[in-house]
Amino acid sequence: MSTYLGTIVLCGGTSARMCVPDKTALPFGTATLLDSALLGLPSGPVVCVGPPRPLLRDGVTWTRETPPGGGPLDGIRAGLNQLTNMAAPPEYDAGILAVIAGDQPFAGRAVPHLLKALEAAAATTHAVAASTDSNDLSARPALLLAAYRVHALAHAVRGDTRNQGVYRALKDLHVKTVPLPLEHISAALDVDTPEDLDLAQQHINRTRTN
């Protein structure tokens, strides 16, 4: 059985389309977008890559890509370095981890499902990701809502990752796209615009009503 090293949460983006300095700090539900994204994560290390701020979840470790603003791939590498520094070598060699974006307010709830799917997959499968289209598994995988084998991810992000695209850098990984359970179908929703935020809030309101 693989060792779960933890989850990397990317929350250092520019939030340009939201016209705010940090969209993950926006109020959402009873807390913030980032607090909501962390809900449902399995027990274990959580490394947030971005400017530190107070969170409802205890025990979160913060780190930054150097220099800041290098893009999500650089953030993945910074988070991976932090997680692996916290793990013993045997755990690292056989480890799995999750990667989510901090602007996906329902992402954490889907992580246990993705980790379980990776455990059940063939050893040649490097990652299991949610689909970017819940109705089409042939759509490209959501690489920022995924579980990875540590050794494969570490190999993919070696070298200069600054301002590289995630899909291009991870193109050689064998990624299996899996459907999300109906109760987690909203996990791939990311908040890039005020309209996205309204849509996510409507989902929260419907959940409370039901």
For the stretch 148-183, pLDDT in tens is 999 999 999 988 777 778 999 999 999 999 988 877
User: How far apart are the C-alpha atoms of 26 and 20, rounded to whole Å?
Assistant: 9
User: What residues contact residue 122 under an 8 Å CB cut-off, 6+ apart?
Assistant: none
What are the phi and psi torsion angles at 119 (to 5°)? -60, -35
**Residue 204, pLDDT above cutoff 60:** yes
**Residue 15, pLDDT above cutoff 70:** no
User: How far apart are the C-alpha atoms of 183 and 54, rounded to whole Å?
Assistant: 28
pTM of structure: 0.92
The stretch 44-57 carries a mean pLDDT of: 95
**Residue 76, pLDDT above cutoff 80:** yes
The stretch 42-58 carries a mean pLDDT of: 95
Q: How confident is the model at residue 210 (pLDDT cuts 50, 70, 90)?
A: low
- What is the architecture of the domain spanning 3-209? Alpha-Beta Complex (3.90)
**Residue 115, pLDDT above cutoff 90:** yes
Of 25-29, 33-37, 125-129, where does mean pLDDT reach its minimum? 25-29
What is the pLDDT, as a whole number, of residue 208? Answer: 62
With beta carbons less than 8 A apart as the criterion, state whether 177 and 126 touch.
Answer: no
Cα dist from 61 to 41, 46, 92, whole Å? 14, 6, 18
Domain residue limits, the chain: 3-209
**Residue 184, pLDDT above cutoff 70:** yes
- Decide the pairing of beta strands 31-32 and 27-28: antiparallel
With beta carbons less than 8 A apart as the criterion, state whether 80 and 8 touch.
Answer: yes
Candidates 185, 182, 186; CA nearest to 200 is 186
Q: What is the mean pLDDT of the chain?
A: 88
Beta bridge partners of 129: 146, 177
**pLDDT (tens digit, 9 = 90+) per residue, 80-105?**
999 988 877 666 667 999 999 999 99
Of 60-69, 71-80, 180-189, where does mean pLDDT reach its minimum? 180-189
Q: CA angle, 110 as apex, 148 and 171 as ends, to 5°? A: 35
pLDDT over 90 for what percent of the chain?
60
What is the pLDDT, as a whole number, of residue 125? Answer: 97
